[in-house]
Amino acid sequence: MQPAHPLDAVTHPDPYPYYAALARDRPLYRDAALDMWIAAHPDAISAVMRHPAARVRPVAEPVPRGLCPGAAGDMFSRFVRMNDSAAHTRLKGLLAVFIQAQQQSAPTSPAWLPPAPHDAAGIDGYLYAAPVHAQAAFLGLERDLHADCAADIGGFLSALPAQAGAGRIAAGHAAAARLLGRLETLLTGQHASPALHRLCTDAAQAGIARESLAANLAGLLFQSCEAGAGLLGNALVMAGRRRTPAAITPEDAEALIDEVVRHDPPLHNTRRFMAEAAQIGGQRIEAGQTVLLVLAAATMIQPEAGWTFGAHNHACPGGLPARRHAADASVHLLRAGVDPSALAARFRYRALPNARVPQFDFLEDSKP
Ligand code: HEM
């Protein structure tokens, strides 16, 4: 049975024929049941992304209500990912330069890798933790802080859904405060890399507050987590289906990750929120409407374009490190004896609205 709608497609076993048909036949349409516009063709997605009225957050709710007031809300409000302000453009440029410079100087040996787990529950945890460990090492945080960062990003993520209860929200604030503290210490301390020093100097010259810089370095940990979990998890499933040998080479792992980006990408959609009414692709979209940008459908028309990493103004600056870290983790897990065929034989997808993340440990009759 094909997916009922584009949100249902994220967790469907094989949504790709549906996505291809959507991009071809319904480039931009309104889905009354979802109460959203759906953009599925690359041209329609680009037109929305480029339109000044299409914002990354609803005008009335720049920060999820449940997170305000508190450290988690304050951190969220500063993320470039969640802003269309002039500050976004300034800071985004500096972050992109930093990521590129750090990429050249970061150690090639993946010393950041946490020990490989050997059961399905351990793999599920590893998918979320490994990308944060990788990013923490990439930023230059000391090794004994990596696991704490992964746990705190987990705490922050759990506080984001609108239905998160008071306990999760309190834990999210505490996690955000600890993350901000660690990154401020890194920024002011002796261990900052030359690329990080330059980022600090350039940000100060551009009038960007140190708190914003620290929040956005925590933002890099946050951005790498769930999408990174999907990239690594979908790579394990693909390796299992292809019976990839345990002695996988780094080059084979990079090719595997590229295949996943093209054929089973980790992030299937993102959203824009209309601040004003706009005429896009021959259709009038009213103020206050949400537009779902189906990146995985655009991938079916342009498989080489890396749509899962977004495009235009808010395009992901972390695509290269994300691919490299997922390739390193795949080599590590396979060589440590993790059997991808066994994983691919029994899994389901987590019930997420935009990321495709496999879950290997679950009870048959439990809800995803
Ligand atoms: C598989 C891994 C990843 C995927 C699929 C991914 C995907 C994306 C996508 C689709 C966006 C744009 C969202 C939108 O336009 O609505 C984005 C933004 C962003 N990503 Fe990634 N990302 C990944 C990993 C990373 C990593 C490792 C980093 C950090 C080095 C990172 C940093 C960012 C940042 C800072 C933004 C915000 C850019 C902006 O708003 O201008 N991402 N990512």
Domain ranges of the chain: 6-359
What's CA 110's distance to the chain center, in Å? 21
Average pLDDT of the chain to the nearest whole number: 96
Mean pLDDT of 229-237: 98
CA dist list (Å): 138 to 133, 151, 171, 192, 193: 8, 17, 26, 11, 10
Class of domain 6-359: mainly alpha
| Closest residue CA from atom 39 of ligand 1 | 314
179 within 8 A of 77, measured Cβ to Cβ: no
Nearest to 266 by CA among 222, 304, 301, 310: 310
Confidence (pLDDT) at 107? 64
Confidence (pLDDT) at 189? 86
pLDDT at 106 over 80: no
Digit-coded pLDDT (tens) for 186-229: 999 887 889 999 999 999 999 999 999 999 999 999 999 999 99
Mean pLDDT of 106-132: 90
Mean pLDDT of 318-345: 97
For the chain, helix (H) and strand (E) counts, in that order, are: 14, 9
Contacts of 61 (CB under 8 A, 6+ apart): none
In whole angstroms, give the CA distance from residue 200 to residue 179: 18
pLDDT at 85 over 90: no
Q: Which two tokens stand for residue 250?
A: 């780094």
Ligand 1 centroid to 132 CA: how many Å? 13
Pairing label, strands 270-274, 290-293: antiparallel
pLDDT at 330 over 70: yes
Ligand 1 centroid to 242 CA: how many Å? 28
Give percent of the chain above pLDDT 90: 92
Mean pLDDT of 289-294: 98
Confidence (pLDDT) at 192? 85
Closest atom of ligand 1 to CA, residue 270 = 16
Closest atom of ligand 1 to CA, residue 216 = 35
Partners of residue 355 on adjacent β-strands: 267
Ligand 1 centroid to 1 CA: how many Å? 31
Give percent of the chain above pLDDT 70: 99
Q: What is the DSSP letter of 117?
A: P
pLDDT at 301 over 70: yes
One DSSP character per residue, 224-270 reads HHHHHHHHHHHHHHHHHHTT--TT--HHHHHHHHHHHHHHS-SB--E
The pLDDT confidence band at residue 160, using thresholds 50, 70 and 90, is very high
Digit-coded pLDDT (tens) for 36-46: 999 999 999 99
| Closest residue CA from atom 8 of ligand 1 | 309
In whole angstroms, give the CA distance from residue 32 to residue 40: 16
Ligand 1 centroid to 316 CA: how many Å? 4
CA torsion angle for 90, 210, 220, 145 (degrees, to 10)? 160
Which amino acids bring their CB within 6 angstroms of ligand 1? 56, 80-81, 92, 95, 99, 135, 219-220, 223-224, 227-228, 231, 266-267, 270, 308-310, 314, 316-318, 321-322
148 within 8 A of 178, measured Cβ to Cβ: yes
Confidence (pLDDT) at 278? 98
Coil, strand, or helix at residue 37? strand
In whole angstroms, give the CA distance from residue 325 to residue 322: 5
In whole angstroms, give the CA distance from residue 341 to residue 337: 11
pLDDT at 63 over 70: yes
